[in-house]
Amino acid sequence: MSNDTTVVAWPRAGGAPAELPKPIVRPCDWGLVGAIGALETQLGTIEAYNRLVAAAGLLKARIDRGEAKPQSPLYAISVKGL
């Protein structure tokens, strides 16, 4: 075996780089942005974060108890929810 550690780039790219899919922004996302802004305005950034973490903890507890709600078919990408 050779101990040659020279790295050489390929002469040309093997294909076009794929763009990352853009996340779908829904009305509830803007509600969340507004809620975070209101929390920061009234409580400050640190306490807003603490409240969001507490709310996320309650939501996770509901999920862990098996009380998760499915996505509304109105906002699903397909009727199968995929």
16-52 pLDDT, tens digit per residue, is 777 887 888 888 899 999 999 999 999 999 999 999 9
Amino acid at 20: L
Q: Does residue 45 fall inside a structural domain?
A: yes
Q: Which residues contact 79 (CB under 8 A, 6 or more apart)?
A: 73
**What is the domain extent for residue 67?**
25-82
| pLDDT at position 14 over 70 | no
| Comparison of pLDDT for 31 and 82, the residue scoring more | 31
Count the residues in the chain: 82
Q: Residue 48: inside a domain, yes or no?
A: yes
Instruction: With respect to residue 20, please indicate whether it lies within any of the assigned structural domains.
Output: no
Helix (H) or strand (E) holding 63: helix 45-64
Count of the separate structural domains present in the chain:
1
Q: Which amino acid is at 73?
A: P
CA distance 27 to 61: 25
- The answer to whether residue 8 sits within a structural domain is no
Q: What is the pTM of this model?
A: 0.62
Give the pLDDT score at 78.
64
- What is the C-alpha to C-alpha distance for residues 68 and 60, in angstroms, rounded to an integer? 9
